[in-house]
Structure 1
Amino acid sequence: MNPDRFSINQMTVKQLPLPELVAHCVRLGVPGVGLWREPVREYGVEAAAALVRDAELTVTTLCRGGFFTREGWEEDNRAAVDEAAALGTDTLVLVSGGLPPGSRDLPAARALIADAIGVLAPYAGERGVRLAIEPLHPMYASDRCAVSTLDQALEIAERFPAEQVGVVVDTYHLWWDERAPAAVARAGAAGRIHSFQLADWTTPLPAGVLNGRGQLGTGAIDLTSWAALVEKAGYTGPVEVELFNDTLWVRDGAEVLEETREAFLAV
């Protein structure tokens, strides 16, 4: 893929403190970075904004808002929007939340999520921030995200203007779904692909599964076909590589960043 579209998600090399990550991005010519709220807050939002701005790095996304089925979601998500605006990114990724406590009703959880996004979207739009609903693999439906397919994400997003609410296309979460290619085309035609993320699926998954995203080219996903599919849908923006992987996190972060960039170029 075109190196000008490469963005490294901060979680891929979470062992690197933010100043080191920025310095290595500059050294390697990495143009974009996807940031996470927790390490940004630890460093200081304004300080982080100045750091990436001075390095002329594009903040492609901020992760994450969402968890709309928990108490206190509104205050936290308004803060997430404000942080995204301060960092200069136009995209806040939403991990929408799982079942409310004591519930087994997934459709009702999605209805709560849609209602919450309806409250948040105008606030975000006024600040130049788009909400990007990320569907997660169904194994996360109970506790992390009741939105499991791209179709489900679009059913919510399409209630709002495309410049306010769209979707994330993440290969790790969507590669299994035979309906996803049609949904990608549908999202692209409406201008609702707000982020495209790459990760591979390795077998067997590690215990706990959350940290099992494989380095590009090491697993079961035809990443080249996915890249072509999203490009055909009209998406020409940054492409983030987001890997949760314990074996990568214990290695030298700069080495992992360089390896990831090379793997990206091979897709």
Structure 2
Amino acid sequence: MTVDPRLARLSLNQRTTQRWSVAQAVDGCVRAGIPAIGLWREPVAEIGVPAAARLVTDAGLRVSSLCRGGFLTAADDAGRAAALADNRRAIDEAAALSAACLVLVVGGLPPGSRDLRGARQRVADALAELAPYAGERGVRLALEPLHPMYCADRAVLSTLGQALDLAEAFPAEQVGVVVDTFHVWWDPDVWRQIVRAGTRIASFQICDFLTPLPADVLLGRGMMGDGHIDFPPLRRAVQAAGYTGDVEVEIFNAEVWATDPDRVLATMIARYVDLVLTD
């Protein structure tokens, strides 16, 4: 596969082309000259991890991330045990896929709970069990802080600083962090935290922040240039911190998902070159 040097670090997160199977997404990356792909566990499970790994390897691509593990905040023993078991499976899958990291969305408050401090402590407790397991298998866990509007139901980590507070209890090769522009662009402290993160940055994901947000705020992620984020300063900061990995485009958006995926990739490449790489 011939790759434009400008695209050498570009990755397609599979969710951006929601309609595509693993095979279709891999083929789309090859046609578009995109050298990396971020995979999701559900479509991988449809064909099996070994088959997915072969598809990626045979195409000459690399796996920039596997999404996702996490949801570690259950308050009951059975829920915690189930979450740990599922995350161990996710770690094994990431190892088999040679993924650069396993993204962890840590989970929100359990139903009926208002104990935010307790939920965060349970994330820390779970990491203490999962990090050594991941390290033994050569997998890096990547804590992803989500925008505060998701704190109650998806992620009790809302800032990069909070994610680093947890990550720094473990070796950097075991636990890193995700810098996702959608989730961190608003944070006035993000610049200091990116410097602090340094080589703990395990993944750099990009998309734009749209307004007005749709009724389902999960789908408020837009194509670069359609929202409010100034991408080059964040890209420069992440690079200056020492990150040399892929730049993964991850978009949850009903309109994007309804668009022909090849057209989505063409737009993604053009916007990446014009709006992310350009200083």
Shorter-chain TM band: over 0.9
Q: Show the counterpart of 2:153.
A: 143
Q: 2:217 matched to which residue of 1?
A: 209
Structure 1: where are the runs of 5+ without partners?
none
Contact 1:217–1:223 (CA under 8 A) maintained in structure 2:
no
Question: What's the RMSD between the two structures over aligned residues?
Answer: 1.0
8 Å Cα contact 1:91/1:129 also seen in 2: yes
TM-score, structure 2 as length reference: 0.93
Pick from 156, 164, 175: which aligns with 2:185? Answer: 175
The partner residue of 2:232 within 210, 224, 231 is 224
Partner of 1:241: 249
CA distance in 1: counterparts of 2:133 and 2:21, whole angstroms:
31
CA distance in 1, matches of 2:101, 2:85: 18
Alignment partner, residue 17 of structure 1: 21
Instruction: State the alpha-carbon separation in 1 of the partners of residues 232 and 110 from structure 2.
Output: 37
Q: Distance in 1 between matches of 2:112 and 2:213?
A: 28
- Taking the aligned partners of 1:162 and 1:21, their CA distance within structure 2 comes to 31
Indicate if the aligned counterparts of 1:109 and 1:146 stay in contact, CA closer than 8 A.
Answer: yes
- Paired residue for 1:153? 163
Per the alignment, in what secondary structure is the counterpart of residue 93 of structure 1?
Answer: strand
Distance 1:73 1:2 in 2: 40
CA distance in 2, matches of 1:143, 1:214: 21
**Partner of 1:160: helix, strand, or coil?**
coil
Name which of 249, 254, 270 aligns with 1:262: 270
Which residue does the alignment assign to 2:97? 87
Equivalent residues of 1:67, 1:96 under 8 A apart: yes
Following superposition, which runs of at least 4 residues in structure 1 exceed 2 angstroms of deviation? none
Question: What is the Cα deviation at residue 90 of structure 1?
Answer: 3.0
What secondary structure does 2:176 align onto? strand
- Determine the C-alpha separation between the residues in 1 that align with 2:138 and 2:269: 29
Alignment partner of 1:5 is 2:5: no
Q: Deviations over 1:57-79 (max 9, x none)?
A: 10000000000013110110000
The one-letter code sitting in structure 2 at the alignment partner of 1:167 is: V
Unaligned runs of 5+ in 2: none
Match of 2:54 in 1: 50
Cα drift, residue 2 of structure 1 = 3.2
1:14 Cα offset (Å): 1.2
TM, length-normalised to structure 1: 0.97
**CA-CA distance at 1:217 after TM superposition:** 1.2
Q: Which amino acid aligns with 1:93?
A: V
SS of structure 2 residue aligned to 1:2: helix
Task: Specify the SS of the correspondent of 1:109.
Answer: helix
Deviation readout 1:89-115 (Å, 9 max, x if unpaired): 130000001112332121211110011
Q: Which residue of 2 aligns with 1:192?
A: 200
The answer for the alignment partner of 2:43 in structure 1 is 39
Total equivalences in the alignment: 265
2:261 matched to 1:253? yes
Q: Distance in 2 between matches of 1:167 and 1:264?
A: 22
Correspondence 1:67-146 to 2 at 5 A = 67-70=71-74, 71=79, 72-146=82-156
Q: Separation in 2 of the partners of 1:45 and 1:186?
A: 35
Equivalents in 2 of 1:217, 1:225: separation in Å?
Answer: 14
Query: Following the alignment from structure 1 to structure 2, what is the Cα–Cα distance between the partners of residues 237 and 28?
Result: 19
